[in-house]
Structure 1
Amino acid sequence: MNAVSIDFPDYTADHSRYAKCIEVSKRVRWEIDRDVIRDRQFDFDNKFLPDGLSLLDRSILENSDERRLMSQIQGRSYANIFGLVERFINAKVLELSQDHWLGDQVALEALIRFSDEELKHQELFRRIETMIAAAMPAGYRSAADPNAVAQVVLGKSTWAVLGLTCHIELFTQAHYRQSIEPDASLSALYKDVFLFHWREESQHAILDELEWRRIDAQLSPAERDAAVDDLIALVGAVDGILQAQARADADYFSLIVPRSRTVAEHDLLAERDLLAAETLAAYRWQYIVSGVQEPRFQKILGDLVTPAQMQRIGTALAPLMA
């Protein structure tokens, strides 16, 4: 009887990078109450977001108290939008883990740990929203439902979802290192939220790249070209969320900050429109432009697409980058 020959996949290429993510994940592991919140409350005498993200150093708001309040409103939305995007990220990571069920068990463990951490991050951001809501006036609203957004995003190709995810988790690194960490004027608790978030997102960004390249290697040129269109559509969908949230946040500011009755109605509306416009510019910087300009993202995307496809992406993004 002839022996049966079985060809096993070669897992050596990226095995060590998956293993490194597991090692670091274990080392930086944190808990919400024990390490982040630690029986503290948010300090509303301080800003939440630094000017490098909120862009409030160039705001139409001239009063420092009003700028601080707007940084807190923006900071609230910044945290909520992270909680929103992590809903679809976790669903996609769990889906991708199936490819490793009967394969590289180290890659499988890395993705399962990724999923566990994303669930924890969602809980963290829900806790943060509850704490902030208890200390701020009523009337704030989130402009998008996480499950509805996830359904739209997960309807696109896996290549495009991984591209968007990689972009998001890379800009979290840049935001913390370049803007949040150096700013001593921020609320200490708010700053710690993104310190601990950053520590685990560092591994997630590596796993995003590994999985994105793995999926890319399976695509035909035509499938990849269609996936590029999906990625462009997803960025457009993100911008739609940002437009709605910027308007909601400008309306909330106008609701809770009284203006003199001597100010004409058309002047109040003009101020609200200007505030919404500059808030949208800040949100586009935070959630689109800073990620697109991140050198590591540019390198990965450039490795995966043709020059013509890269130009197509650039043309589509140009109005948002202005």
Structure 2
Amino acid sequence: MTADTYAECLTRSYRVGWKIKEVLGFVDFDPDRPWLPAPLSGAYGLTCLGPGEKLRMTHVEMGSYAHLFGFVEAFIAPEMVNLAQECGTAHPAAFEALTNFASEEIKHIHLFREIRNRVDEQLGFPLQLLEGEVEVARAVLGRRKGAVLLLTSAIEWLTQEHYTRTMKNADELDPLTREIFRAHWLEESQHARLDHLEALRVFRSLDEAARDATVEDFIWLLAAMDGLLQTQALLDLANVERHLERVFDEAERLEVHGGLLRAKRYAFLESGVTHPEFQDLFQLVTTPSQRDRVQAALGPILLAFPAP
């Protein structure tokens, strides 16, 4: 990543700004198109669903995909407020950039709430979704600042990965999906750079023992994230059954649940922690032994981190 300054990030962010009503407009999701691309959906590759059922499964997954983004942004927004307050008047460019970051995250929370409502309306029933955003945000923010910034960085970079690699040029994808995540990508691309700067600043002040403790907190946060994904995958299994108006037998349940969980782990863990920009940051702030500990912890649920 280039050596962005807070002022440069702030200037670009002001050029990007958009309003929710401009993004959503009055257009609905197209029921004849997938609402998520193949890499982000658990539907593709399943043998127990027909083509039409796989398409409809992506419609359910859009609701939970949007919900999970809103869920994580519920801790990112106050995290940035706290960082801005630390800057105070001594660093006005950083203060302004971080408060703008926080306000945009709050906007994204409202955007994803509107998307969930629209999905529910089009499906004809309310999806079962994770609860406890406030409690989860408190638990996350209770961990060491550097660990939270690492998790936030992975989330910001996976947002970039999802749009540029799986949505931007996917002509078969629903147009509203592409517009929503184009707008989200634009602002998050600035947030990723601000988070990088903050992470470097925080880690510079840590001694070896504090860095070790921070890495342990990061491992805890990744495990907690996986726990949330496991819960939502089970909820989505019930959501898919309801939407398809069928009851899966045991073998079908195992296959569909496996597809849902794999897709969610790729979307919200693997695509972030393996992103080259996140890996660059991770290499800068950790030692080889610390990186080995994180990889060992993630081994049961993710592909190994790429070799440095």
Interval containing the TM-score (normalised by the shorter chain): over 0.9
Please give the secondary structure, in 2, of the residue aligned with 1:42.
Answer: coil
Out of 274, 279, 284, which is 2:260 matched to?
279
Instruction: Give the counterpart letter for 1:178 in structure 2.
Output: R
* Residue of structure 1 equivalent to 2:88: 101
Please give the secondary structure, in 2, of the residue aligned with 1:58.
Answer: coil
Q: Greater CA deviation, 88-97 or 64-73?
A: 64-73
* Residue of structure 1 equivalent to 2:306: none
CA distance in 1, matches of 2:4, 2:226: 36
- Structure 2 counterparts to residues 1-322 of structure 1, below 5 A: 17-33=5-21, 35-138=22-125, 140-259=127-246, 268-322=249-303
Q: Greater CA deviation, 93-102 or 138-147?
A: 138-147
Please give the secondary structure, in 2, of the residue aligned with 1:47.
Answer: coil
CA displacement 1:246-277 (0-9 Å, x = unmatched): 01101111123234xxxxxx961321122111
Q: Greater CA deviation, 136-145 or 177-186?
A: 136-145
CA distance in 1, matches of 2:48, 2:192: 36
Given that residues 18 and 106 in structure 1 are in contact (C-alpha distance below 8 angstroms), is that contact kept between their aligned partners in structure 2?
yes
Given that residues 61 and 67 in structure 1 are in contact (C-alpha distance below 8 angstroms), is that contact kept between their aligned partners in structure 2?
no
Identity of aligned residues (%): 37
Q: Greater CA deviation, 269-278 or 298-307?
A: 269-278
CA distance in 1, matches of 2:59, 2:48: 14
Given that residues 15 and 106 in structure 1 are in contact (C-alpha distance below 8 angstroms), is that contact kept between their aligned partners in structure 2?
no
1:143 Cα deviation (Å)? 2.1
1:60 Cα deviation (Å)? 2.8
Given that residues 164 and 235 in structure 1 are in contact (C-alpha distance below 8 angstroms), is that contact kept between their aligned partners in structure 2?
yes
- Residues 267, 81 of structure 1: alpha-carbon distance in 2 compared, 3 angstrom cutoff: closer
Please give the secondary structure, in 1, of the residue aligned with 2:44.
Answer: helix
Q: Greater CA deviation, 143-152 or 159-168?
A: 143-152
Given that residues 39 and 263 in structure 2 are in contact (C-alpha distance below 8 angstroms), is that contact kept between their aligned partners in structure 1?
no
- Residues 125, 267 of structure 1: alpha-carbon distance in 2 compared, 3 angstrom cutoff: closer
Q: Unpaired runs of 5+ in structure 1?
A: 1-13, 260-265
Instruction: Give the counterpart letter for 2:295 in structure 1.
Output: G
Q: Unpaired runs of 5+ in structure 2?
A: 304-308
CA distance in 1, matches of 2:114, 2:299: 36
Q: Greater CA deviation, 54-63 or 268-277?
A: 54-63
CA displacement 1:46-91 (0-9 Å, x = unmatched): 1111002215331234411111111111111111100000010001
- Residues 279, 15 of structure 1: alpha-carbon distance in 2 compared, 3 angstrom cutoff: closer
Given that residues 76 and 132 in structure 1 are in contact (C-alpha distance below 8 angstroms), is that contact kept between their aligned partners in structure 2?
yes
CA distance in 2, matches of 1:123, 1:319: 34
Q: Greater CA deviation, 135-144 or 200-209?
A: 135-144
Given that residues 157 and 275 in structure 2 are in contact (C-alpha distance below 8 angstroms), is that contact kept between their aligned partners in structure 1?
yes
Q: Greater CA deviation, 134-143 or 98-107?
A: 134-143
CA distance in 2, matches of 1:165, 1:67: 31
CA distance in 2, matches of 1:267, 1:45: 23
Please give the secondary structure, in 2, of the residue aligned with 1:102.
Answer: helix
1:182 Cα deviation (Å)? 1.4
Please give the secondary structure, in 2, of the residue aligned with 1:126.
Answer: helix
Normalised by the length of structure 1, the TM-score is: 0.90
CA displacement 1:204-228 (0-9 Å, x = unmatched): 0001000011010111110110010
Normalised by the length of structure 2, the TM-score is: 0.94
